[in-house]
Chains A and B, each alone.
Chain A
């Protein structure tokens, strides 16, 4: 699609111009023959306010073709920056399908993902959601959408269960907790899930309050002051990338030392800047999220490919975004192998029937239910130790035991 200049002012020119324009606009033929590899378009927000996460996912997408090849899958990727803007997501989705993409992966941002879902549904192109927790993504009735990521509800359920396990493992008995979350899509989804699930989760402590903070806030000093006033034993947080740093920083300054900071499932506590900004103060928060299983061959291959391609980034820190993005591409490639065709409806059917035993994230095989949701994604309890995310529960894949309560701020060197 080229931006055209105004048509010159002459009737004959206008006619010729229109005919030429019409010829240029004619739809390109989309090849549906027996292709050797699957052309997948990866749409991610690499600029705009979601850029940090989008770029992290992108790093996973870049190394995927090589790793997938090692496991017998051939994919051809197209990368698009949707600029954290649903309008761009929609038109770019149309464009990539025009250019021959047979499957779409994305997009981290729920609004953009849904914009793309409209297109994929109408054009019968499978959309595999790599990351996106809004429960409604798989509730709206789209036939061409599958999500290999837990919903906010699943994250919270698994997260709370793990907290129980944590308390049992460390023999700690907190009496009270406060839930602090960002007032954005993800945080609200978690909050709604918490409101629903916490009362029946059988946890031994009381939830004193739920505090929503403005994700655009420059600092969280007021929020931490509020926490101080309530003085809970545990702080349950759902933060975004940069907020976790502000949270801990203000806690340190205000001398507020809860027994533990636990996230039922959110980014922020394991970002590289978090470690760099806080140093030893970054240790000991725990976050319960799906995590890469270090024992599978695929994870090891992924890590081996990641290191040389990204010398400035640690796989341990990026494995969440990288792992899920890779898995989405794996699902598409695996579906292609079984379907034997790039034809939309057949490919989608194959993808819905996915059953991949060995993959990257912990948990049993990747499978989708009738709505296209993978309901079997468990969480692991991961704790920051020595500025590195370390799995502490479940014991089967843990590399060390969890530590609770966390040591005081002033005691750390």
Chain B
């Protein structure tokens, strides 16, 4: 960690520290609406970062990452509802199970040479399969949903994620910051360099003696485990889970928009992407309301057009460009 911090240029450090401080202090002046948006931004920055690890660094396109969100959410929620096991403990079970699924998907893919679009479809199939399976799991509520009770007496038990907006704001912020630190650390490690080598040219990497299979599996395992933690947060933030919602392919797509728009394979890309897209969505709602346009769907049209524009103009993401503008360099090896 310290080594990471020392490795940054002073300018970068100033920006980073300032930004973090701003976010930590925001609740003092911000209203709940802004806090709820920021919480959402942090959540998407975190899961986007987890996905970024697998795609941006290890080069494996996963379009079914909602699978891990859902698994993490359901495992932690089930443990709480049935056994009273709090999320601070349940998260470990969530990580194990999600990583197991991720490992299975990874093993199926890598062992059998399933790549590119085909691998992406494999991930979609895994997520959809699990979604329908959960629709039929009676003990998890099936398609009727799983509900976490609201217990006033427990308010304040932050380790059980029982609390108000402020609690979730800081937990989400911690997750997002932790995610950034984790990815930054990993990518500067030996494993990180192996990932880059495999991503650029797997055959050459193998020739150099890198165990590509292990490197890719590591990426999938860490990515899925990380994502599951986001799922645990989600379950206790919303207190209700429906397979059709949480495993939905729309969610898988939603969580990868941020990292792609922000900048794949960069440490801050997912964060920037989340900070662009979530306010964009909310802002468009406010804009269409102010313009008096009462056409449901209009906001989504603008959103889609913006996505097209962004990927057209800045295909490698907004962050690399932004970093240049503010004079910060991210050491992209």
- A→B interface (CB under 8 Å): 1-4, 6, 9, 14, 18, 22-23, 25-28, 46-47, 51, 54-55, 79-81, 83, 86-88, 90-92, 94-95, 97-98, 110-111, 114-115, 117-119, 121-123, 134, 136, 139-143, 183-185, 187-189, 192, 214
Chain B binding surface, main DSSP class: helix
Residue B242 contacts which of A80, A95, A185 (CB distance < 8 angstroms)? A185
B254, chain A: closest CB distance, angstroms: 9
CB neighbours of A111 from chain B (8 A) = 145, 238, 240, 242, 245
Residue A91 contacts which of B29, B33, B145 (CB distance < 8 angstroms)? B33
Residues facing A in B80-106 (CB within 8 A) are none
CB-CB under 8 A for A142 and B40, given A111-B240, A111-B245, A185-B145: no
Whether A47 lies near B152 (C-beta < 8 A) is no
B302, chain A: closest CB distance, angstroms: 12
User: Is B116 among interface residues, defined by CB-CB distance under 8 A?
Assistant: no
Bound-complex Cα distance A26 to B33 (A): 11
Residue A2 contacts which of B143, B281, B283, B327 (CB distance < 8 angstroms)? B283
CB neighbours of B245 from chain A (8 A) = 86, 111
CB neighbours of A187 from chain B (8 A) = 143
- Residue among B31, B144, B149, B297 with most chain A CB within 10 A: B144
Bound-complex Cα distance A115 to B240 (A): 8
B282, chain A: closest CB distance, angstroms: 6
User: Is B135 among interface residues, defined by CB-CB distance under 8 A?
Assistant: yes
User: Is B18 among interface residues, defined by CB-CB distance under 8 A?
Assistant: yes
CB neighbours of A81 from chain B (8 A) = 285, 296, 299
A187, chain B: closest CB distance, angstroms: 7
A235, chain B: closest CB distance, angstroms: 21
Chain A binding surface, main DSSP class: helix
User: Is B204 among interface residues, defined by CB-CB distance under 8 A?
Assistant: no
Whether A1 lies near B33 (C-beta < 8 A) is yes
Bound-complex Cα distance A86 to B283 (A): 17
20 contacts between A and B (CB under 8 A): A1-B283, A3-B283, A6-B326, A9-B325, A25-B34, A46-B296, A79-B294, A83-B300, A86-B245, A87-B40, A90-B238, A91-B37, A91-B40, A97-B32, A110-B240, A136-B147, A139-B147, A141-B152, A188-B142, A192-B144
Chain B 226-237 interface mask (CB, 8 Å, partner A; 1/0): 000000000001
- 17 extra A-B contacts, CB within 8 A, seeds A26-B29, A111-B240: A1-B37, A1-B279, A3-B283, A47-B296, A51-B296, A87-B40, A95-B282, A95-B286, A97-B32, A98-B32, A110-B242, A114-B240, A140-B150, A141-B149, A184-B143, A192-B144, A214-B132
Whether B31 lies near A91 (C-beta < 8 A) is no
CB neighbours of A98 from chain B (8 A) = 31-33
Chain B 270-285 interface mask (CB, 8 Å, partner A; 1/0): 0000000001111101
Residues facing A in B147-193 (CB within 8 A) are 147-152, 164-165
Residues facing A in B199-248 (CB within 8 A) are 237-240, 242, 244-245
- B→A interface (CB under 8 Å): 18, 22, 26, 29-37, 40, 132, 135-136, 142-145, 147-152, 164-165, 237-240, 242, 244-245, 279-283, 285-286, 294, 296-297, 299-300, 322, 325-327
CB neighbours of B326 from chain A (8 A) = 6, 9
B170, chain A: closest CB distance, angstroms: 15
Closest to A92 in B: B285
A309, chain B: closest CB distance, angstroms: 14
CB neighbours of A118 from chain B (8 A) = 150, 237-239
B330, chain A: closest CB distance, angstroms: 15
Whether B296 lies near A140 (C-beta < 8 A) is no
Whether A90 lies near B36 (C-beta < 8 A) is yes
CB neighbours of A22 from chain B (8 A) = 29
B161, chain A: closest CB distance, angstroms: 12
Bound-complex Cα distance A81 to B281 (A): 13
Closest to A145 in B: B150
Closest to B27 in A: A25
CB-CB under 8 A for A25 and B31, given A118-B239, A136-B147, A140-B239: yes
Whether B144 lies near A123 (C-beta < 8 A) is no
Whether B149 lies near A140 (C-beta < 8 A) is yes
Whether B145 lies near A86 (C-beta < 8 A) is no
Bound-complex Cα distance A183 to B138 (A): 12
Closest to A27 in B: B31
CB neighbours of A188 from chain B (8 A) = 135, 142-144
Whether A18 lies near B22 (C-beta < 8 A) is yes
Bound-complex Cα distance A140 to B162 (A): 14
Bound-complex Cα distance A90 to B40 (A): 10
CB neighbours of A114 from chain B (8 A) = 147, 238-240
- Residue among B143, B148, B279, B286 with most chain A CB within 10 A: B143
Whether B150 lies near A94 (C-beta < 8 A) is no
CB neighbours of A94 from chain B (8 A) = 32-33, 35-36
CB neighbours of A88 from chain B (8 A) = 281, 285
- Residue among B36, B142, B239, B283 with most chain A CB within 10 A: B36
Closest to A58 in B: B296
CB neighbours of B294 from chain A (8 A) = 79
Residue A115 contacts which of B33, B149, B238 (CB distance < 8 angstroms)? B238
Bound-complex Cα distance A207 to B101 (A): 39
CB neighbours of B244 from chain A (8 A) = 184-185
CB neighbours of A143 from chain B (8 A) = 152
Residue B147 contacts which of A3, A119, A140, A214 (CB distance < 8 angstroms)? A140
Closest to B237 in A: A118
Whether A1 lies near B238 (C-beta < 8 A) is no
Whether B36 lies near A91 (C-beta < 8 A) is yes
